[in-house]
Amino acid sequence: MSPGSDGLLAALLALDRLQARTLLRDVRARSAPLDVIERLVRPALEEIGRRWEAGDCALSQVYMSGRICEELVEELLSETRQDSEPADADPGPQAQAPRLAIAVLEDHHLLGKQIVRTVLRAAGHQVMDYGRQDVDGLVARVREDRIEILLVSTLMLPAALRVRLLTERLCALSPRPRVIVGGAPYRFDDGLWREVGADAVGLSAGEVLPILGRLLEAGS
Ligand code: B12
């Protein structure tokens, strides 16, 4: 934990939204929005998750910390987005760019997906956001939209393991969409992404653009 994320942790545990916002704004004055998320927000939330697991904080604190961070991350990302983020539109058949979509699989942890989606859109990619989906729903959307690269975020281990079923079902499509996974379970077990049949894993939102570049190069 960095000194900044210690301060944010204390503010979140005290449910002090104003103090949390002030801390993030101070660091934002010196750093890019994604750095603020990676250096402060994510470590503070991970520590809250550890404390919850150890019985050292209440579920209400986890819940409220998540809500406060959602709001603050949204503020940070709206600066990144400005006018560059297109609406959630289908790129259309003429588009040269790969057909991308992102979803959370069977999980209520949405913050990571929002961040990854914003990074992609800020870099000029059109990405369809499917929100929260189960395996059947996700396969149907991918087939319908002829998605070439699917990004999947999961924070719960059971959801991460369900990606195995998803990749098996996607194998039946032609051409087979490639799958990039990300989220906490893949950080805890560095072989998990291969076990579930994904093509790549991203451990932070900052990794998504180089991964996409590599997949596109390999596929061309
Ligand atoms: C906040 C939080 C919640 C909030 C979620 C609010 C929201 N709208 O997202 C609420 C209160 C709703 C919640 C509920 C639950 N949670 Co919870 N939660 C967390 C916590 C503390 C932080 C998650 C978070 O937002 N992190 C910050 C974001 C920015 O990080 P991130 O999601 O990892 O995303 C980054 C990277 O992973 C990456 N990334 C993510 N996805 C993708 C995808 C791609 C393609 C790429 C390239 C990159 C990428 O980029 C992001 C930015 O760098 C975690 C602790 C942890 N270690 O993560 C527990 C945690 C995930 N929760 C857990 C649990 C158990 C639950 C509950 C079952 C019980 C509970 N605590 O209430 C419920 C179940 C909900 C459900 N069915 O889905 C466990 C999961 C354990 C496990 N092994 O499965 C954790 C790990 C806590 C713990 N240590 O026990 N939770």
- Reported as a single tens digit per residue, the pLDDT across 152-192 is 999 999 999 999 999 999 999 989 999 999 999 999 999 99
- pLDDT above 50 for 44: yes
Span 93-106, pLDDT tens digits: 434 678 999 999 99
- pLDDT above 50 for 201: yes
Residues 53 and 157 in one domain: no
Does 205 contact ligand 1 (Cβ within 6 A)?
yes
The sheet carrying 127-133 orders its strands as 127-133, 100-105, 149-153, 178-182, 200-202
| CA atoms of 97 and 142, how far apart (whole Å) | 16
Residue 188 CA, ligand 1 centroid: distance in Å: 13
Residues 105 and 196 in one domain: yes
Q: Is residue 92 part of a domain?
A: no
Does 188 contact ligand 1 (Cβ within 6 A)?
no
- Spacing of C-alpha 181 from chain mean position: 9
| Residue identifier of the C-alpha nearest atom 21 of ligand 1 | 49
Residues 75 and 149 in one domain: no
Residue 128 domain boundaries: 100-219
Which ranges of 37-126 would DSSP assign to H, the alpha helix?
A: 42-53, 59-81, 111-122
Whether the bond between 175 and the residue before it is cis, its omega within 30 degrees of 0, is yes
Span 67-89, pLDDT tens digits: 899 899 888 888 776 544 554 54
Q: Is residue 94 part of a domain?
A: no
Span 9-21, pLDDT tens digits: 999 999 999 999 9
Residues 47 and 131 in one domain: no
Q: Tokens at residue 172, please? A: 């039946």
Q: Per-residue pLDDT averaged across 119-134, rounded?
A: 92
| Residue identifier of the C-alpha nearest atom 35 of ligand 1 | 112
Could you identify the atom of ligand 1 that is nearest to the CA of residue 211? 47
Q: Per-residue pLDDT averaged across 42-56, rounded?
A: 91
Work out whether strand 149-153 and strand 200-202 pair parallel, antiparallel, or are unpaired.
unpaired
Task: Give the residue from 18, 51, 81 where a domain finishes.
Answer: 81
